[in-house]
Amino acid sequence: MDAEKTTAAELNLPQAFLLLATNDKDGKPQVPVFALRTTLAGAILAELDLVGAIGLQGKHVRTTGAAPQTDLQHELEIIRHKSRPHTPKRWVSMLEGRAEVQRVYEGMAELGIVEHVGEKRLGRFRTVRYPEKDHAPEAALLKKIEVALSGAPSDSGASDTKAPDAGPVFDAGTPDTGTPDDAKPDAKKPESQATDERTTALIALLHAAGLLGKLFPAADRSRTGELAKEYWPARAVEDELRMIRLAEEETATL
């Protein structure tokens, strides 16, 4: 991908989330590190869901028969080859970590979007930050989100007509019952619709991380809740963050 031609549409969800969650000037996270890592894990699941590689079947995440082109092939293979399926929350806890965050940052550095900057501390320790180098991708993301939150029609002219839902084809295992219809990936989705779904997924993840209100303080809360409602990767992030905060509170009282 040509770094000079990188746009918001070409960023995957982990990249888009991390870009918005990072301070432009000093390259520091704008949310606590644990929230950054947890939400990034949710963004990985969301991206794989959007490209049709995984889906929510009952209470478990399962891979489908699709083999899409994705930068997250390593994570997809981990999910595909796990001996038994896991819940979304469990996958968030398994995928979150410093290595995943750094890998996504380094990918954006290669694209020229952020800059890899190292800081020495006490002459020995090295802290790496990723300040913004090219503001255009972030500006495009913010514009897309602003349009979605306002409820205004997008420039892409997306149609309200959805493609027929053929349902996911899962690799193996006994199908769970009670799969929500909106959890099933569409067999084929128009490009304009996919873009809208990607923006909605990003909004849900930002909301789960507690970052949406900071980026868009004037946003209609009811509109935000409507867009983020029942989106399973974001719900898994919220559940995991709730458990982390509870654990911290219990530790503080000991």
User: What's 223's domain CATH number?
Assistant: 1.10.3630.10
For residue 157, being part of any structural domain is answered with no
CB 29 within 8 A of CB 36: yes
For residue 230, being part of any structural domain is answered with yes
Instruction: Give the tokens for residue 139.
Output: 């500006």
Q: Which amino acid is at 210?
A: G
Residues contacting residue 161 through CB under 8 Å, at least 6 positions apart: none
For residue 100, being part of any structural domain is answered with yes
Q: pLDDT tens digit string along 57-84?
A: 999 999 998 989 899 999 999 999 998 9
pLDDT at residue 192 above 50? no
pLDDT at residue 7 above 90? no
For residue 95, being part of any structural domain is answered with yes
pLDDT recorded at residue 247: 87
Structural domain range at position 29: 3-148+165-253
Distance in angstroms (rounded) separating the CA atoms of residues 56 and 53: 11
Side-chain-facing half-sphere of 141: CA atoms under 13 Å: 29
DSSP three-state, residue 114: strand
For residue 153, being part of any structural domain is answered with no
pLDDT recorded at residue 166: 41
Q: What is the number of other CB atoms lying within 10 angstroms of the CB of residue 62?
A: 21
Average pLDDT over residues 44-66: 95
For residue 63, being part of any structural domain is answered with yes
Burial of 234 (0-12, 13-18, 19+ CB in 10 A): buried
DSSP three-state, residue 199: helix
For residue 94, being part of any structural domain is answered with yes
Q: pTM of the entire structure?
A: 0.80
